[in-house]
Structure 1
Amino acid sequence: MKIFFCGIFFTSLALSCSLLPAQAQTIAQQLPEQVKKLLKTNKIPDSALSLVMLPLNGNGTPTLFNADISVSPASTMKLVTTYAALELLGPTYQWKTEFYTDGSLKNGILNGNLYLKGGGDPKLNMEKLWLLLRDLRANGVHQVNGDLVLDHSYFITPELVAFDDDGNDTNQPFLVMPDSLLVNLKSLRFVVRNDGGRVNVAVEPPIESIRIDNQMQALKAAKCPAVPEVRFNPVPTANDVTITVTGKLPEGCSSQTYLALLDHQHYAAGAVRAIWKELGGTIRGGDRTGPIPKNTRLLARAFSPDLVEIIRDINKYSNNTMARQLFLSIGARFRSKVDANDALAAQRAIRSWLAKKSINASRLVMDNGSGLSREERISAREMATLLQAAWHSPYSAEFISSMPLAAMDGTMRKRLNNTAVVGKAHIKTGTLNNVRAIAGYSQDSNGNNWVVVAILNHAQPWGASSILDQVLISLYNSAR
């Protein structure tokens, strides 16, 4: 049987692709022995693992095992989104966030409404928002007599379904949905500290609608626990959220927790008001959402970091919300009349981009571009083909450096320590309840570079991380 691959034909006996060295004439279709042993030890069938290892230089023998099976890639799907963004948007692409007004400014008083227009910035954190509000002050605004109006219209957002992976806490920051005006990943930082026998609970940013019922118990001085006994029970009402904090904490100990409890509108408005108040400013009107009228003028503007920095955060730390923001940004940039929303526009743009690169991806299914989905699918061969193309891209250095380094940083920081692979693999990881995956680039003991894709789909993936780590170790040893 012949399968279209890299714009040419691949047979079970020979691999001929312009992205592979001419010396590669044979193909291994069996798993490395140590990988097979670990699968057997963990009672996982070989059929659960898809593996592709392709040499980018040197005389290595490619490995293809279950390469054409449609599988869930988990967060390795972020590699598709970030590579596409580099070539479709460009490495220096930036997002902008702006303040406008429809009123007049005199003696520091703005007689009119203050409009905050989001541009989809994935990294509009508290520091950037503070600088933007400082710029607003520097432009003469001290008091706003009108409303604070939030414009979320930049994205045409699809109907979003909350991801539920067997009972995830929906308040966890990694589940935050994308938004045109995403502020600080919509996260609240709770700091619980026992200083002097009294437990204090603080929240950042200090949004007024967040109310804390502190029921923590102070313990006498003791060794600080690795996991402090602190529990948060949020109860939302019409105008605020009350969080009851319970547990016990020894003197001199502290705990830090991140939660996403507010919707985008209330979080953004609350953060703006909190910072503006600290800067000595006032907003007398209320909060509402709506588009910016035509008769407004610009007061202040902030730009995001370049796309290169954004994809580094996405891939190094597997940030789902930022990946979804990026996916919708591709859609917003290439939106046409045929697209009902920016997710569909992004899917169309990425498929068109792949077709122009002669990459057949018939098994690719993109939902939100982050991998945090039960719908997204790809084959190991398709992922490997994409990584081959990225190796030859003008932006290959930027793409490769966005991935975690084995045993050194990101989601690979605690893996493969004390092995020969330390620092020799740039690997994106993926994890769902029934998925473990790695994809990226690694070296063998001769210093030759390889594309590596290993995706394991199984109901009980126990020991899967060690199995996938062994893939990289076996590849390193294969040149001996």
Structure 2
Amino acid sequence: MFLSQVWALLWSMTGSPQISRRGLLTGLAAGLASPALANAPGRSPFPKPRPGDGMRRALPATADLVARANVRGATSVALIDLESNMLLDGFAPALRLPPASTTKALTALYALRTLGPSHRFVTQLLRTGPIEGGVLKGDLILAGGGDPTLDTDALAELARSLSDAGVTAVSGNFYHDGTALPSIASIDPGQPDHLGYNPAIAGLNLNFNRVYFEWKREDGNYAVSMDARSGTLRPRVRVSSMSVQPRQAPIYTYERREGRDHWTVARGALGREGGRWLPVREPEAYAADVFRTLAGQTGISLKPSQPLPADLPSATSLSALNSAALPQILRGMLKYSTNLTAECVGLSATQALGARPETLAASGRSMASWYAAQMPYPAEMTFSDHSGLTDSTRISSRDLATALAQRGAITELGPLLKPVTLRDRQGNQLSDYPTAIFAKTGTLNFVSALGGYIVPPSGKRYAFCIMSADLDRRALLTRAQRDRPEGARPWARRARKLQNDLLLNWTRGLLT
């Protein structure tokens, strides 16, 4: 069954088979805010696993598959019937493990139901004075609204809006404002400095808060550059610098000094040419630095940016740039597993509930409380962030699958999740498999998770979660070893094979 047919079937169950996907999401978001969702179901939420319910008894037991997989550490597995909220199958379903990036599926639902599917993030240019004869007689402010997807092309559009507003010069100062979200130096301080997927967070972000480092060997030396590239633009940046050093290791060193990110790289680690994204630690200054360059390219000279002072006179909007609607942002987050997006939408959702978290852990506690109110039984969840990058997040497979099994969640999340293609016992892809599976993966060193939905041809719907973790082995890793530790890849392959085999076993049973 093609995925589009699956969604047609799900939509028909809503009683509105002709409704558009966007309209369906919007309608559900409006209707799912009811307090009734927090009510407990009429039947017991703690049934014993019942492998005979639609499952062929001749199939291997889940415990046997877990034993055969030889995935060192612990494994927690749960399969939930969406109609009854009953646990149909499980292995240590109450064991709490790190869900890794599978957390992003829960963050997506949290954001959709809190911010609403029509939510857009807004980045603005503000002014403190009038425009007279083309001169802005006052200060210019680049104010972020928490948009995690702002890129250089969009920032260039905002810079051009100055000219469109008739501005040719600015007499006052240029300020940046990232206070829409708390300023956080990195998602997980335990990760190596140079990992681009572990950037800083602020209310003003650019290019997922990464700068592009490029190198090329010329006449025995290396020419290096740091830029904020997009598909068409490559503005140089002044807030980050790179120096090539005559050493073999460590590959990178980092130091924050005099308001700039100072990097060094080992000469022995560089080939003839290449490039990679590195994180920035002051996103607001980075975005303002690039904006100043882009404005200069339109003929408008700005002073170096400064943080917005608290005593600045009130400002009015000069122009604004809206992000894509939230479902589109979340689809990209779930497809590419972008950590910054998860943290920004999670923090924004928490603020929409009236809180003002200063840390990711504080916002994670708000998300855990929100989910606790939706669950049909007392559940214990610990979210240290919204992306799953931090391994101190803990949840059981039963709780994660039950959270995904909330009324209407499959219709909201399903179109945003990636389809899963199973493999047979010989490793061949089952491209025409009649059961649709769509899920979010999660991977850390010695942690692997998968959570999502199963829809067989019968139209019945199931939520599942499979998590494995060797926490003892992970705890032995030093900070420097967390990039590519020895043994992590073969362990992850075994964990992914277990996920495949469990799904294959379940779907063959569900087909009967």
Answer with 126-135 or 49-58: which moved more: 49-58
Q: C-alpha root-mean-square deviation of aligned residues, in Å?
A: 3.9
Q: Distance in 2 between matches of 1:29 and 1:345?
A: 44
8 Å contact kept, 1:118–1:151 = yes
Q: Distance in 1 between matches of 2:216 and 2:460?
A: 50
Residue 8 of structure 1: how far off its partner (Å): 3.7
Query: Among residues 95, 98, 103, which one is paired with 2:121 in the alignment?
Result: 95
Q: Distance in 2 between matches of 1:28 and 1:364?
A: 33
8 Å contact kept, 2:439–2:452 = yes
8 Å contact kept, 2:140–2:173 = yes
Rate the CA distance shift 1:64–1:43 in 2: closer, same or farther, 3 A. Answer: closer
Query: Among residues 462, 467, 471, which one is paired with 2:498 in the alignment?
Result: 467
Q: Distance in 2 between matches of 1:404 and 1:89?
A: 22
Q: Distance in 2 between matches of 1:135 and 1:328?
A: 29
**1:179-218, aligned counterparts within 5 Å?**
179-193=202-216, 200-205=223-228, 206-213=236-243
**1:73-88, aligned counterparts within 5 Å?**
73-88=99-114
Query: Among residues 266, 273, 282, which one is paired with 2:292 in the alignment?
Result: 273
Query: Among residues 419, 424, 434, which one is paired with 2:430 in the alignment?
Result: 419
| 1:376 match | 393
Rate the CA distance shift 1:164–1:5 in 2: closer, same or farther, 3 A. Answer: farther
Residue type of the partner of 1:466? K
**1:428-447, aligned counterparts within 5 Å?**
428-444=440-456
| 1:110 match | 136
Residue 28 of structure 1: how far off its partner (Å): 10
Q: Deviations over 1:344-386 (max 9, x none)?
A: 467446634652x453352112232221223322121111112
Residue 57 of structure 1: how far off its partner (Å): 7.4
Rate the CA distance shift 1:474–1:28 in 2: closer, same or farther, 3 A. Answer: closer
Q: Distance in 2 between matches of 1:241 and 1:360?
A: 48
8 Å contact kept, 2:401–2:464 = yes
Residue type of the partner of 2:70? N
Q: Deviations over 1:151-182 (max 9, x none)?
A: 2222356x7775255xx322212111321112
Q: Deviations over 1:250-287 (max 9, x none)?
A: 5xxx5230001442233122221222222222113552
Rate the CA distance shift 1:340–1:74 in 2: closer, same or farther, 3 A. Answer: closer
Residue 43 of structure 1: how far off its partner (Å): 5.5
| 1:132 match | 158
For residue 298 of structure 1, give the secondary structure of its aligned residue in structure 2.
Answer: strand
Answer with 107-116 or 343-352: which moved more: 343-352
Answer with 365-374 or 311-320: which moved more: 365-374
**1:329-408, aligned counterparts within 5 Å?**
329-336=348-355, 344=362, 347-348=365-366, 351-352=369-370, 354-355=372-373, 357-389=374-406, 392-393=408-409, 396-407=410-421
8 Å contact kept, 1:407–1:417 = no
Residue 234 of structure 1: how far off its partner (Å): 5.0
Rate the CA distance shift 1:380–1:286 in 2: closer, same or farther, 3 A. Answer: closer
Q: Distance in 1 between matches of 2:44 and 2:57?
A: 17
Q: Distance in 2 between matches of 1:181 and 1:29?
A: 56
Residue 194 of structure 1: how far off its partner (Å): 6.6
Q: Distance in 1 between matches of 2:46 and 2:87?
A: 15
Residue type of the partner of 2:500? D
For residue 282 of structure 1, give the secondary structure of its aligned residue in structure 2.
Answer: coil
For residue 395 of structure 2, give the secondary structure of its aligned residue in structure 1.
Answer: coil
Q: Distance in 1 between matches of 2:457 and 2:87?
A: 14
Answer with 314-323 or 256-265: which moved more: 256-265
Q: Distance in 1 between matches of 2:171 and 2:219?
A: 43
Answer with 274-283 or 304-313: which moved more: 274-283
| 1:283 match | 302
Rate the CA distance shift 1:352–1:27 in 2: closer, same or farther, 3 A. Answer: farther
| 1:172 match | 195
Residue 116 of structure 1: how far off its partner (Å): 1.6
For residue 188 of structure 2, give the secondary structure of its aligned residue in structure 1.
Answer: coil
Rate the CA distance shift 1:361–1:124 in 2: closer, same or farther, 3 A. Answer: farther
Q: Distance in 1 between matches of 2:222 and 2:250?
A: 11
8 Å contact kept, 1:445–1:476 = no
8 Å contact kept, 2:188–2:198 = yes
Rate the CA distance shift 1:342–1:39 in 2: closer, same or farther, 3 A. Answer: closer
| 1:454 match | 466
Residue type of the partner of 1:163? D
| 2:508 match | 477
Q: Distance in 2 between matches of 1:439 and 1:198?
A: 48
For residue 62 of structure 1, give the secondary structure of its aligned residue in structure 2.
Answer: strand
Query: Among residues 70, 79, 88, which one is paired with 1:42 in the alignment?
Result: 70
8 Å contact kept, 1:81–1:327 = yes
For residue 364 of structure 1, give the secondary structure of its aligned residue in structure 2.
Answer: coil
8 Å contact kept, 1:74–1:435 = yes
Residue 326 of structure 1: how far off its partner (Å): 0.9
8 Å contact kept, 1:85–1:330 = yes
Larger % of helix: which?
2
Q: Distance in 1 between matches of 2:201 and 2:506?
A: 38
For residue 44 of structure 2, give the secondary structure of its aligned residue in structure 1.
Answer: strand
Residue 30 of structure 1: how far off its partner (Å): 12
Q: Distance in 2 between matches of 1:151 and 1:57?
A: 47
Q: Distance in 2 between matches of 1:468 and 1:300?
A: 49
| 1:238 match | 258
Q: Deviations over 1:400-438 (max 9, x none)?
A: 122122259xxx9xxx86235879321111122232110
Give identity over the alignment, percent: 22
| 2:9 match | none
Residue type of the partner of 1:82? A
**TM-score, normalized by length of structure 1?**
0.78
Answer with 345-354 or 175-184: which moved more: 345-354
8 Å contact kept, 1:153–1:180 = yes
| 1:256 match | 275
8 Å contact kept, 2:174–2:302 = yes
Which sections of structure 1, spanning at least 5 residues, go unmatched? 16-22, 217-228
Q: Distance in 2 between matches of 1:41 and 1:350?
A: 32
Residue 90 of structure 1: how far off its partner (Å): 1.0
